[in-house]
Amino acid sequence: MSDSAVPVPPRLCDATLAGLPAHVARPAYDRTRTRIGVVHFGPGAFHRAHQAAYLDAVLDADPAWAICAVSLHSPGVRDALRPQDGLYTLVLQGERPALRVVGSIRELLCAPQEPEAVLARLADRDVRLVTLTITEKGYCLSADGVDLAHPDIVHDLASPEMPASAIGWLVAGLRARRDRGFEPFTVLSCDNLADNGGRLRRAVLQFAAQLDPRLADWIETGVAFPRSMVDSITPASDDALRAWVAAQAGVEDAWPVQREPYTQWVVEDHFPHGRPPLERAGVVLSDDIAGYDRAKLRLLNAPHSALAYLGSLLEIDTVAAAMREPALAGFVERLMQQDIVPTLKLPRGFDPDAYIDAILARFRNPAIAHRLAQIAWDGSQKIPVRLLGTIADALAAGRPIERLCLPVAGWLHFVRRQARHGVPIVDPLADTLARVGAAGSGEAKGEAVGGTAGGTVGQMVDGVAGGTTGKVAGGAAGGVDAFLALDAVFAPLSADERFVAALRRAYAALGDASPAAVAAALAADGRA
Ligand code: CS2
């Protein structure tokens, strides 16, 4: 050891919990008395900052709802948190940051490495709830069910006892319970998809029917898939956060998480096999959450994506910095008020102006460095559910779509720029996007773009009337048509010539996508 070695603080774990400084909040219950009642797939930062924190707040009232956190791919979270007995720090980034150690995760598993343990947990009688945050792409969805051509689904249908996908695991767990004569668990999707529970239910039933029609019937009659809306801005953790937590708490936490103080969870109250007392933690339980989920996707996530693509082209790094750019902030506000709100069916009592003001204030939060690059990930999955549904509704209502097309055109320029500069694209369609993006901006008529494996994303567009998905004639705005041929993203909207024309105009309005050109396009609201 060199003389200059800095003493390493002890690791956060059950044994060091009591010695934390008084300003660090910690579990208000005896962890050893809790029982695992929830299996969660996808324990990324969002789950740990959101649902796990809510459950942490109910365990003193009801110890039956501790979490077994299951990663479907990498062992990173398990390896970071197992030595910490599942404990981690949550930092609320408000005017003054607040620290809290969350204790609701009692077990961590990595499915590909410990499949037997995962199956045993899913089949455990005490487990009555399975929750998921696996991002849009994790659901392997098709228009109205599961994408039977998705490689993970193909794999899981061939090897149902050793699944790779979340749907494969849900069905394996439910089958094990049926075979043992146990009641099923309730399945709660917590991802940013409108009608997330309904979509997951249809996908699970379709998958199960392929394997065992009687199992599908059992699931159909007995398993609830409540819908939910989740909301809290959760930037990725970084080394600065780790160092700050170590300095504040005096312990080393391998994977702290951070979020804004604002948080919301609206859940359809349909749990036939019991549920945690979520209302004690501030969860809104409702018989009908339709409207909340769409309002959040369209009024928060769509503007987020607009800031991500247009802001990146302006060479801006974070959401707060993007909001300091008057042309961009003004554009996004007009987009929300003038284009998005009129397409929404809002829940009773919902005040869109107050909601928009609160979102804009959250975006401006200077305490959070929320990278635009993080939001820009997975555009092929996000653009349809965030923007194309609104565009389809606006078209159906005869409303203008010029402004709505600008962020979509921004995504195309963003992809093209990354492809041309050889920057890796983070997206399940990355290879296809890189190929399309790197191609010349002039294009052949009806250029065929294949290889959209894993993508049935276009079919996730909500509220789009069915229609043909003919290839789009090439020509006008160089650069657009090869993207429009990606049915996985743009069908069926790509068959609507009003959309095609407006997207070409918006793409052209962004010119060479230099900051000056983008600023001009923003000022003109996407009109060339
Ligand atoms: C963001 C969301 O990364 C993204 O795409 O738009 O994660 C957003 O921060 C959350 O949905 C807020 O609840």
Closest to 260 (Cα-Cα) out of 235, 290, 223: 235
CB 327 within 8 A of CB 306: no
Q: 313-347 pLDDT, tens per residue?
A: 999 999 999 999 999 999 999 999 999 999 999 98
Closest to 486 (Cα-Cα) out of 439, 423, 421, 418: 439
- Helix 402-420 / helix 430-438 crossing angle, nearest 10 deg: 90
Greater confidence (291 vs 468) lies with 291
Given pLDDT bands bounded at 50, 70 and 90, which one contains residue 128?
very high
Q: Whose CA is nearest to atom 8 of ligand 1?
A: 233
172 Cα–ligand 1 center, Å: 30
Q: In residues, how long is the chain? A: 528
208 Cα–ligand 1 center, Å: 31
Tell which atom from ligand 1 comes closest to the C-alpha of 46: 7
Greater confidence (478 vs 161) lies with 161
Q: Is the CB of residue 374 below 6 angstroms from any atom belonging to ligand 1?
A: yes
The predicted pLDDT at position 467 comes to 30
CB 147 within 8 A of CB 141: yes
Q: Which two tokens stand for residue 7?
A: 């003493």
Q: 351-406 pLDDT, tens per residue?
A: 999 999 999 999 999 999 999 999 999 999 999 999 999 999 999 999 999 999 99
Residue 474: pLDDT over 70: no
Q: Is the CB of residue 264 below 6 angstroms from any atom belonging to ligand 1?
A: no
Query: Minimum mean pLDDT among 185-189, 209-213, 445-449: which range?
Result: 445-449
The predicted pLDDT at position 290 comes to 81
Distance CA 113, CA 66 (A): 22
Q: 213-251 pLDDT, tens per residue?
A: 999 999 999 999 999 999 999 999 999 999 999 999 999
Distance CA 423, CA 376 (A): 13
Closest to 89 (Cα-Cα) out of 291, 225, 252, 283: 252
- Helix 352-364 / helix 326-334 crossing angle, nearest 10 deg: 160
Residue 266 sits at φ, ψ, to 5 deg, of: -110, 125
The predicted pLDDT at position 287 comes to 83
Question: Considering the chain, what percentage of its residues have pLDDT values greater than 70?
Answer: 91
Q: What are the residues whose beta carbons fall under 8 Å from the beta carbon of 285, sequence distance 6 or more? A: 267, 268, 269, 278, 279
298 Cα–ligand 1 center, Å: 11
Rounded to 10 degrees, what is the CA torsion of 238, 241, 243, 246? -130
58 Cα–ligand 1 center, Å: 25
Distance CA 422, CA 403 (A): 29
The predicted pLDDT at position 289 comes to 87
CB 386 within 8 A of CB 298: yes
Average pLDDT of the segment spanning 452-463 = 32
200 Cα–ligand 1 center, Å: 20
- Helix 402-420 / helix 389-396 crossing angle, nearest 10 deg: 150
Distance CA 118, CA 234 (A): 27
Q: Is the CB of residue 325 below 6 angstroms from any atom belonging to ligand 1?
A: no
**Pocket test residue of 51, 230, 232, 304 for ligand 1, highest count of atoms within 8 A of CB:** 304
The predicted pLDDT at position 302 comes to 98
Q: Whose CA is nearest to atom 9 of ligand 1?
A: 233
The predicted pLDDT at position 8 comes to 80
Residue 444: pLDDT over 90: no
Any alpha helices (H) in 123-163, and if so which ranges?
Answer: 151-158
Distance (Å) of CA 459 to CA 54, 140, 147, 342, 504 = 33, 11, 10, 23, 22
440 Cα–ligand 1 center, Å: 32
Distance CA 483, CA 477 (A): 12
The predicted pLDDT at position 4 comes to 59
| Mean pLDDT score of the chain | 92
Q: Is the CB of residue 192 below 6 angstroms from any atom belonging to ligand 1?
A: yes
Closest to 22 (Cα-Cα) out of 292, 309, 248, 273: 248
The predicted pLDDT at position 192 comes to 96
E strands, 72-161, where? 88-92, 98-102, 105-110, 129-132, 141-142, 145-146
Q: Is the CB of residue 365 below 6 angstroms from any atom belonging to ligand 1?
A: no
233 Cα–ligand 1 center, Å: 6
Beta-strand pair 264-268/284-286: parallel
Given pLDDT bands bounded at 50, 70 and 90, which one contains residue 439?
confident
CB 432 within 8 A of CB 451: yes
Q: Is the CB of residue 301 below 6 angstroms from any atom belonging to ligand 1?
A: yes
Which residues on adjacent β-strands are paired with residue 69?
40, 108
430 Cα–ligand 1 center, Å: 20
Average pLDDT of the segment spanning 15-36 = 97
Q: 245-274 pLDDT, tens per residue?
A: 999 999 999 999 999 999 999 999 999 999
Distance CA 237, CA 258 (A): 7
Q: What are the residues whose beta carbons fall under 8 Å from the beta carbon of 214, sequence distance 6 or more? A: none
231 Cα–ligand 1 center, Å: 8
Average pLDDT of the segment spanning 469-487 = 65
Q: 39-74 pLDDT, tens per residue?
A: 999 999 999 999 999 999 999 999 999 999 999 999
Q: Is the CB of residue 133 below 6 angstroms from any atom belonging to ligand 1?
A: no
Q: Is the CB of residue 359 below 6 angstroms from any atom belonging to ligand 1?
A: no
CB 484 within 8 A of CB 387: no
